[in-house]
C-alpha cells in the first residue's frame, strides 16, 4: 500500500468540476433546509501528539468528517465525487507565506490529494500551488512540473497574464495557474491574525494569485480583499474552502510568532467565502479574549473587508450570523 507521501509522486484515475451540473454548485452554499450559508467547523482535540506533531491519520479522519458533514454523504469518496467533476484540473491553493511554523500543513494537502484520486481525479489533474517555491517548501512540499504526476509549483514558474484585470481598486495581473492551468480551485488558507487586514484566511489568500499584492493593502486591505475576490476568474474558479485552522497565530501575524501560536485543531469548510471568513474571525476574537489580548477593533485592524465583501456591490456571500448555518462537529 502506498503511503500518503507517495500520492505526491504517483497515482491513478479521473475527476469532475464544481459547477452548474454539480450537486454542490455555488447555490448549494445555502443549506437546503434553512436557506443559510453553511459553514462546517470540524475539531479533534487529539490532532497533535505529545511531541506537537500532527497525526496524519487523524487529519484524514478530520477531513472526512468535515466533508461528510458539509455534503451529507457519509462515505468520503462519494462526498468528493459531489465536489469535484471528471476530467478537469483541480488546483489546491496553499499558503506558506508565514514560513514553516505557520503554513498550510502538508498532512492536509496529502489527505486531500489522496481523496481526490480515490474519487477519480488523475494525478496529472491535481496542481498544488502558491506564490513561489519558497512558500511551497515552507508547507513541506517539493516542486514538480511533471504532468504525469501531481504537480507542485508557484507563480515564479508559471508567470502572470500580460493583460491586467480590474475591479474596484484591484488592478492586477493574475497567475496563469489560475487562469490557464486549473478549472477549479480548492482554497487551503491557514488561519492567522494579520497586522493590517485583521484576519487572513479564505479571501485574503487570493493575494497569492496576483502580481502586485502590495497594491491592495491600503485601508487595512479594505476594499482591496473584497475587490480582488470579485475579479471573475477568482470569483468563479475558487469555489470551495478547506481552511486549515489546525495551528494558528492569534496575534502578531501574518508571520510566525511561537509565543502567539495556538492550536484550534480544526478545519473550517464552506463554499461561501465571506461566511467562512466571518467564522474564522470570530474564532480568533475568542482566542484573543481568552489570552487577554485586545479585540482586533481595539488593536486598530478589524477585518472590515469582510462586511465590504458582503455588501450589495460585491455580493460575495454573507457575514450575517442570522444567515449562516454554522455546524460544529
Residue 142 cell numbers, joined: 517539493
Neighbours of 219 (CB within 10 A): 14
**pLDDT mean over 127-141:** 97
Distance CA 143, CA 141 (A): 7
Confidence band of 33 (pLDDT split at 50, 70, 90)? low
- pLDDT tens, residue by residue, 280-297: 999 999 999 999 999 999
pLDDT over 50 (residue 102):
yes
- Look at the chain and count its residues: 329
* C-alpha–C-alpha distance, residues 271 and 78, integer Å: 18
Query: Looking at 66-70, 106-110, 192-196, 254-258, which range is the least confident one?
Result: 254-258
d(Cα 226, Cα 224) in Å, to the nearest integer? 6
Beta strands in 215-310 (DSSP E): 238-249, 261-262, 266-270
Q: 293: which DSSP letter?
A: P
Under 8 Å between Cβ of 298 and 198: no
Q: Is-contact 107 267, C-beta < 8 A?
A: no
Rounded distance between C-alpha atoms, residue 49 and residue 208, angstroms? 31
Element (H, E) at 136: helix 133-138
Q: How far apart are CA 107 and CA 265, in angstroms?
A: 13
Q: Tell the residue number behind the cell numbers 450570523, with chain if given.
A: 321
In terms of Cα–Cα distance, which of 156, 122, 120 is closest to 137? 156
- Higher pLDDT: 179 or 259? It is 179
Give domain limits for the chain: 4-328
Does pLDDT of 34 surpass 90? no
Looking at the domain 4-328, which fold is it? Rossmann fold (3.40.50)
Cell digits of residue 302: 478589524
> Measured at the alpha carbon of residue 247, what is the angle toward residues 29 and 177, in degrees to the nearest 5?
55
**Does pLDDT of 44 surpass 70?**
yes
**pLDDT grade for 7, boundaries at 50, 70 and 90:** very low
Q: What is the pLDDT of residue 86?
A: 78
Model pLDDT, residue 31: 55
> E strand or H helix at 282, and its extent?
helix 273-291
Roughly how many angstroms between the first and final C-alpha of the chain, as a whole number? 30
Residue 246 cell numbers, joined: 489546525
154-166: b (≥16 Cβ within 10 Å) or e: bbebbebbeeebe
Cβ–Cβ < 8 Å for 87, 15: yes
Q: Which three cell numbers stand for residue 278?
A: 466571518
pLDDT above 60 for 9: no
Residue 234, pLDDT > 60, answer: yes
Does 254 have pLDDT greater than 80? yes
Bridge partners (DSSP) listed for residue 171: 166
pLDDT in the model for residue 167? 98
Mean pLDDT of the chain: 91
Residue 61 to residue 232: CA distance in whole angstroms: 34
Picking from 114, 91, 110, 269, the residue whose alpha carbon sits closest to that of residue 184 is 91
The grid cell for 133 is 517555491
Amino acid at each position: 500500500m502506498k503511503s500518503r507521501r507517495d500520492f505526491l509522486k504517483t497515482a491513478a484515475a479521473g475527476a469532475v468540476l464544481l459547477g452548474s451540473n454539480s450537486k454542490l454548485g455555488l447555490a448549494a452554499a445555502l443549506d437546503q433546509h434553512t436557506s443559510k450559508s453553511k459553514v462546517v467547523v470540524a475539531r479533534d482535540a487529539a490532532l497533535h501528539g505529545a511531541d506537537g506533531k500532527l497525526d496524519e491519520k487523524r487529519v484524514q479522519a478530520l477531513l472526512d468528517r468535515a466533508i461528510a458533514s458539509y455534503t451529507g454523504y457519509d462515505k468520503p469518496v462519494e462526498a468528493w465525487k459531489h465536489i469535484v467533476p471528471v476530467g478537469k484540473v483541480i488546483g489546491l491553493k496553499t499558503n506558506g507565506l508565514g514560513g514553516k511554523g505557520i503554513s498550510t500543513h502538508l498532512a492536509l494537502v496529502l489527505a486531500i490529494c489522496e481523496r481526490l484520486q480515490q474519487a477519480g481525479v488523475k494525478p496529472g489533474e491535481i496542481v498544488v500551488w502558491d506564490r513561489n517555491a519558497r512558500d511551497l517548501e515552507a508547507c513541506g512540499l517539493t516542486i514538480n512540473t511533471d504532468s504525469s504526476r501531481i504537480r507542485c509549483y508557484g507563480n515564479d514558474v508559471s508567470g502572470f497574464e500580460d493583460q491586467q484585470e480590474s475591479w474596484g481598486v484591484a488592478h492586477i495581473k493574475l497567475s496563469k495557474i489560475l487562469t490557464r492551468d486549473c478549472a477549479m480551485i480548492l482554497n487551503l488558507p491557514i488561519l492567522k491574525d494579520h497586522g493590517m487586514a485583521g484576519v487572513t484566511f479564505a479571501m485574503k489568500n487570493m493575494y497569492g494569485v496576483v502580481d502586485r499584492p502590495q497594491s491592495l493593502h491600503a485601508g487595512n486591505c479594505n476594499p482591496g480583499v473584497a475587490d480582488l475576490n470579485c475579479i471573475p476568474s477568482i470569483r468563479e474558479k475558487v469555489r470551495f474552502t478547506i481552511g486549515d485552522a489546525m495551528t494558528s497565530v492569534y496575534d502578531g501575524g501574518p508571520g510566525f510568532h511561537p509565543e502567539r501560536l495556538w492550536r484550534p485543531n480544526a478545519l473550517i469548510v464552506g463554499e461561501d467565502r465571506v461566511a467562512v471568513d466571518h467564522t474564522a474571525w470570530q474564532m480568533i476574537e475568542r482566542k484573543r479574549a481568552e489570552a487577554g489580548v485586545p479585540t482586533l477593533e481595539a488593536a486598530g485592524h478589524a477585518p472590515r473587508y469582510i462586511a465590504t465583501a458582503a455588501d450589495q456591490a460585491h455580493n460575495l456571500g454573507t457575514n450575517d450570523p442570522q444567515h449562516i448555518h454554522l455546524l460544529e462537529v
